[in-house]
Structure 1
């Protein structure tokens, strides 16, 4: 069976005033299970791919010191998680969950897969859509 893997995304932020060459490109990461389910993602994108890859390596090195935090979103009642190191959120859930126990189970899967994750080569291109989903604050 294949191991979990970190996938790196080249995110182009849409900007109607800039030409395609002038658009800001950032790099984000997500951790996928062997069956291609997204287990979690980085909280923030990075300016360069090298910074993003180093952040993933630092996260893997600190895997045993991460603290999972589950939070209910105010308006929907759905649950989201984040993984913190010394109070700083480094990874977040990719989606929200209807029940607290589903959220806790999935953060556990993320933390278990983290040390086994392999880094993929290159980046996948992704155009960042406008954010309409409620996000938890740190």
Structure 2
């Protein structure tokens, strides 16, 4: 069985403006368990893959200084978590949970997987609708791949 691993994503936003700049690309990361379930993801996207990889290395290096915070969402009552490094959010739950104990269990799984996690080579490409990319870059708790390559 594979160990937990960080997977790096290249998020390509379609060119929907008239600037002619072409598609925009950002980098993000997710931490996957050995059975390929996403345990958590980076708090925000980065301009380059190198910045994204540096952020992951900083999270792993600062594992002893991480603190977990769980919160109930006011509108739905679902629970989400975030992990902070020296008070700065660095990772968030990939989805929301119906119960506080599920949320606590899953943030524990995320933290336990960090020391053994491998950094994968390369990246996976996601092509997203503009609203989905906007949610990811604003720090929403979930995003879904339209296609990967």
- Shorter-chain TM-score above 0.5: yes
Query: Is 1:67 matched up with 2:64?
Result: no
Q: Structure 2 vs 1, CA of residues 20 and 119 (structure 1 numbering), >3 Å: closer, same or farther?
A: farther
1:23-42 alignment, distance < 5 Å = 23-42=23-42
TM-score (norm 1): 0.91
SS in structure 2 of the partner of residue 114 of structure 1: helix
Question: Distance in 2 between the 1:25 and 1:135 partners?
Answer: 18
**C-alpha separation between the residues in 1 aligned to 2:7 and 2:61?**
18
88-97 or 120-129, which deviates more: 120-129
CA RMSD of aligned residues (A): 2.1
1:20–1:42 CA distance, 2 compared to 1 (3 A) = farther
What is the number of residues matched between the two proteins? 136
Give the stretch that moved more between structures: 19-28 or 64-73. 19-28
Cα–Cα, structure 1 residues 118 and 21, in superposed 2: closer, same or farther, change >3 Å?
farther
Quick check: 42-51 or 20-29, which moved more?
A: 20-29
TM-aligned CA distance change 1:101 to 1:20, over 3 Å: farther
Q: Which runs of 5+ in 2 are unaligned?
A: 142-149
Distance, in Å, in 1 between the alignment partners of 2:115 and 2:54 is: 15
> What SS is found at the alignment partner of 2:98?
coil
* 8 A contact 2:71–2:80 mirrored in 1: yes
TM-score, scaled relative to structure 2: 0.84
Structure 1: give runs of 5+ residues left out of the alignment: none
In structure 2, the residue matched to 1:88 is: 88
Tell me by how many angstroms 1:108 deviates: 0.2
Partner of 1:128: 128
- 4+ residue runs over 6 A deviation: none
